[in-house]
Structure 1
């Protein structure tokens, strides 16, 4: 759990850094190099993502705090428990007194030994009750992470709702520029620079095609956010081999708290080998995982789990409330 607390703290810092970087990039776009209705539409669409990132960072920090609190609770309980050596010494003294009690002369000493043993039991029961209450309080303080906004798919519609005259003027002004290597807004072709371009190898935003650089792109090998296709880099992407946040598919990398599949790192993942909270499968690391073996965390169900509130554990396992 100490390692889990450190991992959650690192995740919180990564999310906070991502939120700050995202805010810096989008603010620079809409405030300097990209102006107009399409810029305003992009800013309105990505604002919920910025808020979600900040909220996720704060929630990850709270999870780190709760994990650290659980570690402190466990250490306090272990320190308050009667040491096994004292229990063994008490039982050894009792045996010695019983074997030498030929004429009943050791009766008072035997009674005192038994009273001390009962006191040990009372201490341990009280400590374990406090431990259960503390651990339950820590677990109940954890809240589910919310899924990120999915409104980037509405960006084309938002741009279409922008004043038609602005888009028409941009298209008209672009007709005299090189057809296949244009600079401007709402260009059609390939190798262009600007926003809302149609083609391939475009640099800007909301470009449909392949190998685009920007945000809201549709195609393959795009770099940005809200891309749809394969091999994208960013977050909110859909496809295979993506790197970023909220990816759907196989061989993903990043913090995908809403991902489903195998080998994911994040929150509420489903599959095998996941790391996070609320995972379902085998070999998970986190809190509230379900599976059959090798889980580590709180409230796991399966075999060979390490933690507490685990169920159906194999011989030799360590933990609390084992079944």
Structure 2
């Protein structure tokens, strides 16, 4: 453009019709400032033709725009990102006339109308069905619970229908605004004709005779520019106003946070499954939030029986983001790991990758220490495979890749482990057998992927569980996150049955306390549930703890007696609690599993005692 301004330098020093009218076009009126310099005619024609050609290239017919009014040498990409208020009519007009127009928005409005009608019909039908069930064929507590759970969904469907109807109306409004803007915008053909006329006048402007007509054409061009910007401003304002009337539905976030559970026996919100305590769990028997699986304690765990460290009261604390089976800690991936950020099986410590490592940041199998890479290494910062003693390090090991003492098998670390990838040492009874199986960490576990103490089974965490994927304490069964449960997927405590999130229930899917039955959400106010039980806080059938404090028994035909302080805390079937060596005469019980006799025994038929 600046080169083309020279043609006006030959004009007399008098104001022209466009003088000072810079308006929306930066420096566009500078061609009416007069410098009284007379250029050559050929120079005028060359410069003006060059500038005009560059200006025409904005509509995408030639090259990229490099003229000053296009952003001082901006590329096409920069032009596309520019605000409409600084773009010339060649671009604004063409953009409004290209594309599908308002048809897609009208189609979207029709779709929103259809969705609104479907949602309204669904809400009406849903409410009608639930009302008919609760008012006629289905009565009782379960019916009331279903109606209470269904009511928010019906309300949500009604709200969503209204929101869809509003979206349809606003889509129609945007389409109307677009059509109004398109009607007000200068047609691209008129803009192109103006530019062609300008170029023709420049080419024939011998001795400046066409100056008045050139100024008139440029003035009209500026009017086109202003008209396009005004139309686009109205379009922007109308579309913004329509969009502003579509906020997130009031209360939707609160509704999502308070969604009822899908399943039975859950406590909290938006759980899918049974017997969960917390929010957004998928599965059964989880305690916490955002868990997927069964028997997890904490947040964001995926799998079975994952939890955090055991506290001073021998209770499971929450773990986070574990993936796998029976991990204790945070961010572990695998099975039977104790610590944080371990990947593999049976590691004890932090940041280990592999199996059966004890320490931190080891890579490999059966290493003891820190920052080792290899197999069966003992110490720190070692690298390689320990070939001495058939790949074992330490003393008294039999097998391959063991480190520590008195291990038998493959890639065990610690002391007294038998199997593969086991870690830890028996601190309860030093010198006795520790873990037996595959990928166990902790103390005296038997099975696969257990972390904790005295567990028997698969993927159990915490203490004295018998079964699979239990994260609580003293459970017999599968996926229990509470303590002293007999059954499956209980997140509460001292339950006999399945999917109970309350406490001391006999039955299934009870969210209340001390109930005998199914799906009960209220508290009975009784001391025990079930049949034929004695003591306090007892569920199940014919359990008889006796003594000074006879408490916390679930299951069938269990007894506990002889303890001077506590008798009970037993789950399973047919266990007999009598004082043992671990606690002396103070406690009797702490048994899980089937037909064990003694104190603090898990498993079946006293096999643990025989192995010990």
In which range does the TM-score fall when normalised by the shorter chain?
0.3 to 0.5
Structure showing greater radius of gyration is 2
TM-score (norm 1): 0.46
TM-score (norm 2): 0.25
